[in-house]
Amino acid sequence: MPNLAWIAHPDGFIYWYNKRWYEYTGTTLKEMEGWGWQKLHDTKELDNVLKNWKLSLATGDPFEMTFPLKGSNGKFKPFLTRIVPLKDASGKIHHWFGTCTDVSDLSEAKEALSISEERFKATFEHAAVGIAHLDLNGKWLMVNNQLCKIVGYTKEELLKLTFQDITYKPDLELDLKYVNKLQKGRIHSYTIEKRYVKKDKSLVWISLTGSIVKDSNGINKYFIAIIKDITETRKAQEEKQQLELLSRERNELIKISKAKDEFISIASHQLRTPATVVKQYLDLLENGYAGTLSNEQAKFIKIAYNNNERQLHTVNALLKTAQLDAENFTIHRISTDIAALLRGVANESKVSMQIRKQTLHTEGLDKDVKLKIDPVEIKLSINNLLENASKYSHDGKVIYLKLKKLKTKITITVEDKGVGISPENHHRIYEKFARVDNELSDTVTGTGFGLYWVKQIVELHGGSITLKSELHKGSKFIINLPL
Ligand code: ADP
């Protein structure tokens, strides 16, 4: 018999041990007889053993316990001890029969199992990713803390749901397709990106790796899911895509804008040359180089001349804009008497203002201010502001042109008492092609380029342009140029 065995009297006095007992313990019957076996016990366990043994002796119930017993080598090994009462026909106990089975191997296996279970639990609970087991219908069987955090449900809440319940509906079909393949054994695992609906109804992007566990007969048992929150990665990816799209669109726009500028440049050159020639010939006719003109002829030629002038004006504006937009546009600064320049512009504008019976008031044009500017461009800019002031003022109004010298800059103000510009359009007027409708825009011509290039020219000089204007009250454009 491989087990240790012994027999005791009804009162627990052991009077016989088998051979294995003596072999294992290295003791003799003399030492062991009665209650001598106690010296083979671990003192920490002995009280408990005695208590249970005495209880069995008192009640007549069988005894079962695992405790260590010391071997002949002085080392302890765990033994499962079972003691059964042997009774006679009347039910009276006449002997107790005990066996002790060495369960060291079993204990080791149990301990190993409990360590591995503990490790699994720790890995499961503390993992930085969501981990779950699900039954074959998709019901959550086991979920870790991280998964609860990702979806915002508590463990108890989640265990009442299925993965279908919390999957964002448009993403469910894809997932079910893979689940189906897993169940049929066509794949061993799969990884997809999909969305869950969190408890607060917001969406969370996750990466899901799913696999299936089978028993030894190959029957499907449950699913394992590894779930990672990828909201941030998705966000970064989407932002990157958005940026790429924007950059592509921007490049496309730049290309279109370049092509358009080129077209404007070529077209306006082509238009300007014949219009200039027409102007020269009309001049010759008007001045009588082809004979004296009748009143009717002179009137017609005047109309032709005025219209040709308008065309030239538009073409020049187009050309100017195309030049400004060209990458190599530069200003040519020379030391300029700014007051003299403004006096010149004022004189030229007075002529067209007279047609509208408007008067130009000037202030500060007697100052001696020398400034390094591009006189051609600045003259064109002021001229444009004065033209606008006249165009967008009713007949008979006064227009002001003022020059001021401050510590670090000069200011040139062009002010009118005209139709004004409503505040929401103050920024728009500087855009290319921006024409803002007002009560006079139907009666005057314009291209929508003027203020665009005035602003560009002023900024190329390191200056700025500001506007104060109210609808129906008038406008005040102030050009600041650094000294
Ligand atoms: P254009 O006069 O050829 O339309 P501009 O670029 O010079 O183009 O001006 C843009 C718009 O700004 C004009 O269409 C007009 O509505 C408004 N604007 C410019 N100057 C004035 C002004 N002095 N008074 C009122 N509106 C003005």
CA 333 – CA 460 distance, rounded (Å): 11
Q: Is the CB of 68 under 6 A from ligand 1?
A: no
Give the position, in ligand 1's atom list, of the atom nearest the Cα of 420: 25
Percent of residues, the chain, with pLDDT higher than 90: 73
Tell me how far the alpha carbon of residue 377 lies from the centroid of ligand 1, in angstroms: 19
Whole-number Å distance between alpha carbons of 233 and 239? 10
Q: What is the mean pLDDT of residues 272-286?
A: 91
Separation between Cα atoms, residue 59 and residue 288, nearest integer Å: 149
Name the residue of 451, 454, 457, 466 whose CB sits within 8 Å of the most ligand 1 atoms, as the mutation to test its pocket: 451
Give me the pLDDT at residue 339, please. Answer: 96
Which pTM value belongs to this model?
0.50
> What pLDDT score does 116 carry?
82
Please, how many CA atoms are within 13 Å of residue 275, restricted to the half-sphere of its CB? 18
**Model pLDDT, residue 1:** 62
Give the per-residue pLDDT at 136.
96
For residue 132, list its beta bridge partners.
143, 225
Q: pLDDT by residue (tens digit) across 148-161?
A: 999 999 999 999 99
Question: What DSSP designation does 40 have?
Answer: G
Please say if the pLDDT value at position 265 is more than 90: no
CB 384 within 8 A of CB 390: no
Atom of ligand 1 at shortest distance to CA of 393?
Answer: 24
Is the shortest distance between the CB of 415 and ligand 1 below 6 Å? no
Does residue 463's CB lie within 6 angstroms of at least one atom of ligand 1?
Answer: no
Residue 290 has pLDDT above 70, yes or no: yes
Write the CB contacts of 445 (distance below 8 Å, at least 6 apart in sequence): 310, 313, 314
Query: Nearest C-alpha to atom 7 of ligand 1 is from which residue?
Result: 450
Q: Which of 414, 419, 435 to mutate to test the pocket of ligand 1 (most atoms within 8 A of CB)?
A: 435
| Cβ–Cβ < 8 Å for 234, 207 | no
**CA-based torsion, 121, 125, 131, 133: positive or negative:** positive
Ligand 1: residue of 387, 390, 421, 441 to mutate (most ligand atoms within 8 A of CB) is 421
Which percentage of the chain shows pLDDT scores above 70?
100
233 CA → ligand 1 middle, Å: 49
Q: Is the CB of 448 under 6 A from ligand 1?
A: yes
CB atoms within 10 A of CB 248: 10
Task: State the greatest distance between any 2 C-alpha atoms of the chain, in Å, as a whole number.
Answer: 163
- What three-state secondary structure class fits 258? helix
Instruction: Indicate whether residue 450 lines ligand 1 (CB < 6 A).
Output: yes
Length of the chain counted residue by residue: 483
Q: For the chain, what is the mean pLDDT?
A: 92
